[in-house]
Structure 1
């Protein structure tokens, strides 16, 4: 039996889209004046990315964007959430502008609009220009000012056509993996540097909101957060406290100051030395929506080897998992959306949701279809129970470069043969297209 969006209670104007990010799909890493990013550097480090993969070519979206926009149109996707590559537009992060980089996004945006697809642009998806990292990166307050200048450049260039803007994608994941765990770029594990990076990223968000608001009439602005239910691995006091701290690090370190005007209590003391008078007012700027990237509940446990004394725990042994090891619990989508709704009282857009696999059998990705169907139904339950959810973007349009997992993890609804760059819609793409059309 087929499920229609209308059967699940979604309103007619509910937005159905697809997401990607610049470093994961564009490629052309050394073409047309693009400068290096911290992820270009990270990929050169030994044994940091599976199989030694890099984003140098990725999905070659830089050259094949027209084909990818045509794919989206064929699938009936109504919005495309992509990121702008800071080092493509400003190769050194500030100063001289790269006109060829700016022109690429002109072409992409115009191609989307020609096919009736709404562009949703995210200013930052983890690819800090290496030149700015060399000046202190996210541990330097100066970077927040440079980010505001970059936001103003993007607003002036694209604001006549792009009205939906995200400031930063998953600042918690970027900062935890990059500055606390050392698992991602720039490969640092230092508690004080992580605390400084949290605060600078929040200042950058606030400055970008002000720039976009001033320069884009009718702009709709949000920040995009990885926000998941966070549970203790075991029901004992140490695990419960570890989960409470990890919840603040992962879920609340950014939306709390951005929307509620204060850091959560367990983090406030660590971040306070870097807070100057007026900073929280600069961070807490009016926004229009809460972007949430939802995948699975998390489990936390004490870990003395981690700089905060806590880290990931193990899910229950009897919990089903995806092929990449993430828990499968569709009801967590409803739980998560209602938690966000009750705490932040903003319209919500699910900006990422998807299923990762390492062993797909050709194009018959039925586990992904099952995951998407169940999570969308859970999202409908949240909507029915009062959560103000306005849209859903599947992750991802394409199989792509999955950060530390390289090309071994596939999240796309469209298969990419990375040797030939041939795109082939999977069963999940056809299911999603049918779902949108029938809804």
Structure 2
């Protein structure tokens, strides 16, 4: 992910009800810290556009990210994902790495324009065959395939029809989901319709820093509503085609803490939580939008119709979310920035920010150390996030769908070409101990997916960030498992994190 841009656009106030001091007090871990339940699923994640390459092969259509990458000035270093990690051709090699590292779950995404090049109509058999082979390869390795249907690569032809603000896309997406469930649902059981839907809608349509590059708050509201409709319709479509399907989703979340103990800052943190963490979760679980705005929910602007609440509401089988860092939030009403308060998911784009609807100011603190990508390392955040979502939604089954950190460590001659990356090991060690503590306190977490299996194309940052547990030399596609990957493999084998 271009996580510096996400985490500065996200609204995740999972800790809104916490005292500010609680954000800084890290309680001592219990004696069994680091232990995980039997049959816990250790995994890694990738995304089609970030790893596959083969951008014009076997009938694949153009995606909005293809168009964006090929537009000068959009991607750092003028990079493209035309080749990326060449995972399209090397998926067996990469799944072998997962097996070598004792992984039991592989979260990957499917490229919609590989299946339907124009976004509608008959499926492309070569696209279906490719993903069928990926699923089979994972199963042969003893790994659970976990499919994300949409990780941001909308067919450009559908953007030409209006993109996500066009509510017709909810039906097109449900058709796409049904095609995949029909062809893969006999073997593939875990499905997530969307990856970080808030980012899709906000960065693509309100801010314009991601494709399609629009900057209209009304377009954002319409896009978000269409995605909520598509989430519900695709759930039913998958279930209708596959009796084995377990459907959840993969939301981007960050715990947010009020900057002070004032009622205003606490309320701002709650709005942050509602706007990013719950804006697509509350609609599925309860058929309603959360209280995210200082004004009444703008139903007319979002194109809400009678009966949409019933379309949006579906009984998700599990909840998935990502964790990277936290936010500190304050009220912006009446201030100089009150009419243009910044919003953030994982990164902050103050140059484009501006949201008179939520009226809050979010900050990425730097009390903890920073990754090479500029995100604060704050292990306690995953505990606060998991326990809060567990309380608010009656202890659902949870999967951590992504978590990781960017460090630029590379192969080192003095260690025979290995990749020592102790900071990444420390990141995961401390975070996983906090996750273990959340489980001990009653959270029903069944899986953790590290981001990422491979160094890859990091969206607007191109190849300037490395989140992988496997180093990729993009000159020749050589893979080298980093020390963190080997460490994570031992964690998976032992089902516990040692001190």
Global fold match (TM > 0.5): yes
Q: Which residue does the alignment assign to 1:228? A: 254
Q: Which residue does the alignment assign to 2:39? A: 13
Cα offset, 1:235, TM superposition: 6.7
Q: Deviation per CA, 1:134-166, whole angstroms, max 9, x where unpaired?
A: 101100110000000000000110001101111
Shift of the 35–163 alpha-carbon distance from structure 1 to 2, 3 Å rule, reads same
Q: Deviation per CA, 1:52-90, whole angstroms, max 9, x where unpaired?
A: 111111100000011011111111111101001100110
Cα offset, 1:341, TM superposition: 0.6
Q: Which residue does the alignment assign to 2:275? A: 249
Cα offset, 1:319, TM superposition: 3.1
Q: Does 2:235 match 1:209?
A: yes
Q: State whether residues 233 and 314 of structure 1, in contact with CA within 8 Å, keep that contact through their aligned partners in structure 2.
A: no
Q: How is 1:2-401 mapped onto 2 (pairs within 5 angstroms)?
A: 8-232=34-258, 242-267=268-293, 269-273=297-301, 274-300=303-329, 302=332, 303=337, 304=340, 306-309=353-356, 313-345=362-394, 346-358=396-408, 362=412, 363-401=419-457
d(CA) in 2 for partners of 1:360, 1:338: 36
Q: How is 1:415-434 mapped onto 2 (pairs within 5 angstroms)?
A: 415-434=471-490
Q: Deviation per CA, 1:16-42, whole angstroms, max 9, x where unpaired?
A: 111001001000011111001111111
d(CA) in 2 for partners of 1:54, 1:18: 23
d(CA) in 1 for partners of 2:236, 2:370: 41
d(CA) in 2 for partners of 1:46, 1:184: 14
Moved more, 179-188 or 161-170: 179-188
d(CA) in 2 for partners of 1:204, 1:96: 19
- SS at the partner of 1:138? coil
Q: Which residue does the alignment assign to 1:3? A: none
d(CA) in 2 for partners of 1:296, 1:316: 9
Cα offset, 1:44, TM superposition: 2.2
Equivalent residue pairs, number: 435
d(CA) in 2 for partners of 1:272, 1:233: 33
Cα offset, 1:239, TM superposition: 5.8
Cα offset, 1:242, TM superposition: 4.9
More helix by share: 1
d(CA) in 2 for partners of 1:229, 1:431: 27
CA RMSD of aligned residues (A): 2.0
Q: State whether residues 333 and 379 of structure 1, in contact with CA within 8 Å, keep that contact through their aligned partners in structure 2.
A: yes
Moved more, 358-367 or 209-218: 358-367
Q: State whether residues 414 and 425 of structure 1, in contact with CA within 8 Å, keep that contact through their aligned partners in structure 2.
A: yes
- SS at the partner of 2:247? strand
d(CA) in 1 for partners of 2:96, 2:103: 10
List runs of 5+ in structure 2 lacking aligned partners.
1-31, 341-351, 413-418
Shift of the 300–38 alpha-carbon distance from structure 1 to 2, 3 Å rule, reads farther
d(CA) in 1 for partners of 2:327, 2:310: 31
Higher relative contact order (CA 8 A, sep 6+): 2
TM-score (norm 1): 0.94
Cα offset, 1:234, TM superposition: 6.4
Cα offset, 1:7, TM superposition: 6.3
Q: Deviation per CA, 1:380-437, whole angstroms, max 9, x where unpaired?
A: 0100111111111111000011111111100000000011001000001100111111
Moved more, 196-205 or 266-275: 266-275
Moved more, 85-94 or 238-247: 238-247
Moved more, 147-156 or 268-277: 268-277
d(CA) in 1 for partners of 2:405, 2:161: 37
406, 415, 418: which one pairs with 2:462?
A: 406
